[in-house]
């Protein structure tokens, strides 16, 4: 959608993507490799189908709904993690908007290897941001030394760095597959 106004159509698409994110969060305790790629794909599709504002809205709302639906022990112990997850999602959204959106909107991106490289760069930026802010700074600083969570610190650090990169890459695979079909539909609407 090329309209600059955030109208009814944009709200509907954003709400539908949020609903998908919320449903996926009920499976969060099964595996981060179920929920993570779905949420990342929704963030990416929001940017492609609606624009930056939609992706940013989902970036902010999804960590809050994750906390409400299935808060992990580390989220409960260190609530400051929530704004940093929001920011990590925003890094993915902004990177996708500026690096990929134009290529994919024009329809040439899915056939160009550069788009796949750019997707990996976007995923890497999210993983690096969350790795530096959450894994290397926040968790070691704010989990009390006598907390039982300290024994799981290496797992949490992997979850909020490497795993974020991997789930963002998988999210791009999902988003590219969905975008191949969705972009045709959106072109027919105009």
Does residue 166 carry a pLDDT above 90?
yes
Residue 131: predicted pLDDT? 98
Residue 189: predicted pLDDT? 60
Tell me the C-alpha distance between 10 and 7, whole Å: 5
Residue 1: predicted pLDDT? 43
Tell me the C-alpha distance between 17 and 39, whole Å: 9
Which band of pLDDT confidence, cut at 50, 70 and 90, is reported for residue 30?
A: confident
Sign of torsion over alpha carbons 89, 92, 98, 100: negative
Tell me the C-alpha distance between 20 and 38, whole Å: 8
Residue 184: predicted pLDDT? 76
Residue with tokens 């908007």: 97
**CATH number for region 8-189:** 1.10.1760.20
Does residue 3 carry a pLDDT above 60?
no
Give the burial class of 126: count Cβ atoms within 10 A of its Cβ; 0-12 exposed, 13-18 middle, 19 or more buried.
Answer: buried
Does residue 87 carry a pLDDT above 50?
yes
Mean pLDDT of 91-110: 90
Does residue 9 carry a pLDDT above 50?
yes
Q: Count CB atoms within 10 A of the CB of residue 139.
A: 24
Residue with tokens 């993690």: 81
Does residue 95 carry a pLDDT above 70?
yes
Q: What is the 3-state secondary structure (H, E, C) of the chain?
A: CCCCCCCHHHHHHHHHHHHHHHHHHCCCCCCHHHHHHHHHHHHHHHHHHCCHHHHHHHHHHHHHHHHHHHCCHHHHHCCCHHHHHHHHHHHHHHHHHHHCHHHHHCCCHHHCHHHHHHHHHHHHHHHHHHHHHHHHHHHHHHCCCCCHHHHHHHHHHHHCCHHHHHHHHHHHHHHHHHHHHHHHHHHHHC
Tell me the C-alpha distance between 37 and 174, whole Å: 8
Give residue-wise pLDDT tens across range 106-164: 877 788 899 999 999 999 999 999 999 999 999 999 999 999 999 999 999 999 999 99
Tell me the C-alpha distance between 161 and 169, whole Å: 13
Which band of pLDDT confidence, cut at 50, 70 and 90, is reported for residue 169?
A: very high
Residue 98: predicted pLDDT? 97
pTM, entire model: 0.93
Give residue-wise pLDDT tens across range 45-80: 999 999 999 999 999 999 999 999 988 889 999 999
Residue 89: predicted pLDDT? 98
């Amino acid at each position: 959608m090329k309209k600059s106004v955030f109208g009814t159509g944009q709200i509907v698409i954003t709400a539908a993507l949020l609903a998908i994110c919320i449903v996926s969060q009920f499976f969060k305790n099964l595996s981060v490799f179920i929920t993570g790629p779905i949420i990342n794909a929704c963030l990416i599709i929001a940017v492609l189908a609606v624009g930056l504002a939609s992706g940013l809205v989902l970036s902010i709302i999804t960590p809050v709904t994750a906390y409400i639906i299935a808060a992990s022990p580390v989220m409960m112990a260190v609530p400051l993690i929530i704004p940093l997850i929001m920011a990590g999602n925003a890094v993915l959204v902004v990177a996708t908007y500026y690096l990929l959106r134009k290529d994919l909107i024009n329809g040439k991106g899915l056939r160009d290897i550069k788009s796949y490289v750019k997707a990996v760069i976007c995923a890497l930026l999210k993983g690096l941001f969350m790795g530096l802010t959450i894994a290397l700074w926040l968790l070691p600083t704010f989990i009390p030394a006598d907390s039982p969570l300290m024994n799981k610190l290496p797992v949490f650090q992997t979850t909020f760095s490497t795993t974020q990169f991997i789930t963002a890459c998988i999210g791009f695979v999902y988003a590219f597959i969905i975008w191949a079909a969705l972009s045709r539909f959106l072109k027919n609407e105009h």
